Structure 1
Amino acid sequence: MDSVVKPNFARGFIVRLLLFGVFILLLRFVYVVTLRGGSCASGDFCFFSSSAEVLSLSGGISGGGAAYVRFPDGSTVSPELGKLWTSREWRKSVEFYSSLFQDLVVEDFLSPTAKTLCIESVSGHEVLALKEIGVADSIGISKKNFPPLVLSGDIFHQPFGNNTFDFVFSGNILDLTRRPADLAGELARVLKPKGILVLITASAGDLYSLHSLKVLFASCTMVRSREINSPDSSKFTREIVFRKEEASQILPHKGNEMVNDNPFIVGNSASKCPITDHKLQLLHSAEPLLEEEPLKPWLTLKKNIQNIKYLPSLVDMSFKQRYVYIDVGARSYGSSIGSWFRKQYPKQNKTFEIYAIEADQAFHAEYVSKKGINYLPFAAWIRNESISFEVSHDHDQKSDEKGSGMGRIKAAGASSSGPSAKNLHMIQGFDFAEWLKNTVTEKDFVVVKMDVEGTEFDLVPRLFETGAICLVDELFLECHYNRWQRCCPGKRSPKYQNTYGQCIHLFSSLRENGVLVHQWW
């Protein structure tokens, strides 16, 4: 009998002891919640010891057992939000940002006392993560209001004064917006001098894209760039840290260093673009130049166009402000704009502004009727002046639909003679290099196709001389030389004095100076 009573007594004692321990813990919990306002001090019992406390209550809230979040200032959110913020997926995202921000704290890029802003923080994961690691003065802004973490507002016209925040964080919104330059300007505006801007992007996987991003933040210096593990491990993700410079420390762009090492530049000095790593990477990827003169140049384009490494097929263009195509010597719409650029050139779903420059009056009416084309009925030249312009049939190629041939600028004092001469008249020429500098910027993606019947030996040096060449991302250049004629085997064209070797010299000179140029025919 005694052997039966003793085990029951022992079990009962253990149960009572456990119940007493649970009672003590519950009593301590009630004390923290009711008397201390739910704020956790050192040594207090809490389910969560972060600055934003998630508490589970058994009563007093509809839908008993619902969770809510209490912040140090005593404010709380609804049970619905509390349930959302304690869900597995939500906590996974918050923990990702918490880990990222803690690294920035360790590296002294982020301080617990910093006034911080999160851009397009739709659900507030980033803001809550900042609060949880102790950065209390944190707020987000997005189109959709998400109190108490996120304000509703226009991220392109933020309701904050200049130089407001010590730390600004932006997720992948720069990858998604069609106005990256406008957004970049607004981020820099609200950031204090010496403040830190951190960007998360999936679009800076190549040097060109990274360079384009840096250009958008002219008032900032990139201090770090690294790949990170994103919640979606299948996607490339980069974290980039910028520091905003004080106004007196912002240096002018160094893309116009004056040198004179280009053999096609005439004068005492010329502007040279810096050959940066992103340009070298592109030049190494470009198709090789055809060093030997083709015997049938009219067939070369069809073969060579298959080998061209188009710039958009090599890099990400997401961080450009505008996308511009300039056809210099456009001839008819179907000659290159309609037949090649709009149908074949890879555009990464970007909308391009198109400029057609053509002095031949035979094409004026056609372009007037074309929508979406900015037409310049003048001759691209090295000065703003009236010049002699000759329109002639080219027997090496099929004439255009309207029967006109190729127009070319005649040098001062030169006479129009020979069987190809058709008409010589005065037209208005304009300084193409200066026009280019006034039309596009380094923030734009600029593609130029140039077919100017020999004037390239004037225009290219002028582009270098003025620094306008630095604005061209990709150049398709037809170089005109005294090539073999299709109509007359064994005879070279009398129209041009330059040789194929001089053309190769021109192409090589462009590439040696960092210009991605392709041979066009």
Structure 2
Amino acid sequence: MEKHIESLLKRISWGSITIATLTLMSMIIQTPETCIPETPNTSMTKFPRSSCDSNHRRHLPIDKKNHRLWTSKAWNQQVQSYVQLFGELQNRRLLANHSKVLCVSAGAGHEVMALNRIGVSDVTGVEVIDSLPLVSRADPHNLPFFDGIFDLAFTAHLAEALFPSRFVEEMERTVRNGGSCVVVVERCGGEELDQILRLFRKSRLVNAVNVTFNGAQMTRILMRTKVSA
């Protein structure tokens, strides 16, 4: 009797194992229900055939990406704001076509393009993430340039600097004696303006004026680096 029961239990165990194995193989072979079934693609754009398709979309070449960006209305409006800003510096004879200009924390390069449009060709834009061909990668707190090689340094992103004093120190270091540092910040005055001016230890204030920049109320600060004795 005991041998009969033992034989029965073995048959049940082998049957369970067989069923489990077949179920597992079926789950592996069958397409998951969460995947979108393949459908004919009549679009000109190559999309993945299903949600389980491992093929990636073809990346747009950088020149086509830039063309799409640079021809947008938003891009050109912002570039035009910089054109007006730098045009005023040209009128004050602080910026010329032959000037060597450094744009610190230049983002996607609006200010670089604006300077090129008004005839300034020797422009270097730097940012922690490059946006070629207008902006190269560099740490604004540790600029990879020799002392005093630029005529003018510009930034519209001082407020976003992790270490503002170091940021300004690097701007001053790379600008020649008698050159200019130009900063655009949210409209300020009084104590706020004094705090910004105290960051410039090797420059003197030329003027600070309120301007409308890219549709916002801003303050443009112009500093002149001190000429060594």
Question: When the two structures are superposed, what TM-score results if normalisation uses the length of structure 2?
Answer: 0.71
2:221 aligned partner: 240
Deviations 1:62-94 (A, max 9, x none): x9xxxxxxxxxxxxx712201210110000010
CA distance in 1, matches of 2:179, 2:97: 14
Matches within 5 A, 1:338-417: none
2:209 aligned partner: 226
1:174 corresponds to 2:158: yes
Q: Secondary structure at the match of 1:226?
A: strand
CA distance in 2, matches of 1:130, 1:230: 16
2:189 aligned partner: 206
2:51 aligned partner: none
Matches within 5 A, 1:103-252: 103-171=88-156, 173-202=157-186, 205-233=188-216, 236-248=217-229
> How many pairs align?
169
Provide the aligned C-alpha RMSD in A.
1.5
Q: Secondary structure at the match of 1:223?
A: strand
Q: Secondary structure at the match of 1:228?
A: strand
Q: Using the TM superposition, give the Cα deviation of residue 232 of structure 1 relative to its aligned residue in structure 2, in angstroms.
A: 3.4
Q: Using the TM superposition, give the Cα deviation of residue 218 of structure 1 relative to its aligned residue in structure 2, in angstroms.
A: 1.6
1:289 aligned partner: none
- State the one-letter code of the partner of 1:246: V
Q: Using the TM superposition, give the Cα deviation of residue 178 of structure 1 relative to its aligned residue in structure 2, in angstroms.
A: 3.4
CA distance in 1, matches of 2:63, 2:114: 19
Q: Secondary structure at the match of 2:205?
A: strand
CA distance in 2, matches of 1:142, 1:135: 20
Q: Using the TM superposition, give the Cα deviation of residue 243 of structure 1 relative to its aligned residue in structure 2, in angstroms.
A: 0.6
Q: Using the TM superposition, give the Cα deviation of residue 211 of structure 1 relative to its aligned residue in structure 2, in angstroms.
A: 1.6
Deviations 1:440-470 (A, max 9, x none): xxxxxxxxxxxxxxxxxxxxxxxxxxxxxxx
Matches within 5 A, 1:83-102: 83-102=68-87
Q: Using the TM superposition, give the Cα deviation of residue 174 of structure 1 relative to its aligned residue in structure 2, in angstroms.
A: 1.7
Higher RCO structure, 1 or 2 (CA under 8 Å, sep 6+) = 2
- State the one-letter code of the partner of 2:221: I
Deviations 1:341-381 (A, max 9, x none): xxxxxxxxxxxxxxxxxxxxxxxxxxxxxxxxxxxxxxxxx
Q: Secondary structure at the match of 1:78?
A: helix
CA distance in 2, matches of 1:134, 1:206: 33
CA distance in 2, matches of 1:133, 1:192: 22
Gaps of at least 5 residues in structure 1 are 1-62, 64-76, 249-521
Task: Specify the structure having the higher radius of gyration (Cα).
Answer: 1
Matches within 5 A, 1:279-318: none
Deviations 1:275-323 (A, max 9, x none): xxxxxxxxxxxxxxxxxxxxxxxxxxxxxxxxxxxxxxxxxxxxxxxxx
1:264 aligned partner: none
Q: Using the TM superposition, give the Cα deviation of residue 206 of structure 1 relative to its aligned residue in structure 2, in angstroms.
A: 2.6
- State the one-letter code of the partner of 1:214: L
Deviations 1:33-64 (A, max 9, x none): xxxxxxxxxxxxxxxxxxxxxxxxxxxxxx9x
- Counting aligned pairs with the same residue, the percent is 27
Q: 4+ residue stretches of structure 1 with deviation over 4 A?
A: none
Deviations 1:178-231 (A, max 9, x none): 3111111111000111111110011x6131121222221121011011000022
Deviations 1:91-142 (A, max 9, x none): 0010110111111101111111001110111100000000011000011000
